[in-house]
Structure 1
Amino acid sequence: MFKLKLRQLKESDLGDVYLNKDDNASYVISDDISLFEKDKVNILISKETLPDVKRLINALNKDDDSNIVMFNTDKGTLRIFLQDIYYFQTYGNDLFLHTKNDKYEIKTTLYQLEELLKDRNFVRIGKATIVNIAKVTEIRTSFNAKLLLVLANKEQLEVMRSYVKSFKEFLKL
């Protein structure tokens, strides 16, 4: 969940805050802006902001378990963090979960997913696709009143014309 990159401060300065450290973390905590990473949530800390950063880390950790979902697959059960999911897409009767580099066939329906992911960063963009809005890096206009989404892994997905209005409402545009 977190990657710690410090030059002046020490990890001990954070006190008893639990850091679920991971090299592929979504959050980078650093005291030096030059150590920030592209495509990550970067948190700049200093001695003065330590109390606020501690509260933020504790809040993120508190929700950590609620950000894990499990799906049945042909090979067993897949346990995955929501932030690792890029999108879900159906191909015929099969439903696939897409991550940065992998694709898993899961045993559920898009309707069940919509219910599971309600009030999260996921939005339906077509009859066959639900996308994690946190993985969208660019939104472009496309042909026939459609939108084109560019994801963090450079994949592109279309927001179908009949879903553009609800997509914009989701984004509060």
Structure 2
Amino acid sequence: MRVVLVEGDITAQQVDVIVNAANSSLLGGGGVDGAIHRRGGPAILAECRALRASRYGRGLPTGQAVATTAGDLPARWVVHTVGPVWSATEDRSALLRDCYAKSLRIADELGARTMAFPLVSAGVYGWPVEDAVGHALTVLRAATPANVTEARLVLFGPDTYRVAQRVHAG
């Protein structure tokens, strides 16, 4: 699988799967989650509400992932994953890596060929960007999916993109 760094807006990526850095409610929020729900339209929220009413009554657990329609996004599906909030006193990196691994597994099971990931937990959840990029690349570089041939790590803003390029090259 090819891993590509892209600076830009994840909601504009033309791929089979867009990964959403969701909050556990699955009902939208700020940052990437809010942008995906706004651009994707009401179909995404409707499926998320159905998931809450059935399998995830208490919300989607941290490190887990689930797929819905992509609504009006230029993709077939959205895979929602809940990243951990960064902690200086507790190592939550395994949960962060699970977000990438489980999202990739779901996309692969759906038959997706291409997917776009945000930098999970690096926004309002406070994960240091350099470390977040390192965890994302560790999982994506080691993956051997049956169907997915390209994983894009979509980075918002030139500063985040430069950090990711440095980590990717190092």
Q: Calculate the TM-score normalised by the size of structure 1.
A: 0.25
Q: Higher strand fraction: Structure 1 or Structure 2?
A: 1
Q: Higher helix fraction: Structure 1 or Structure 2?
A: 2
Q: Calculate the TM-score normalised by the size of structure 2.
A: 0.26
Q: Which has the higher contact order (CA 8 A, sep 6+)?
A: 2
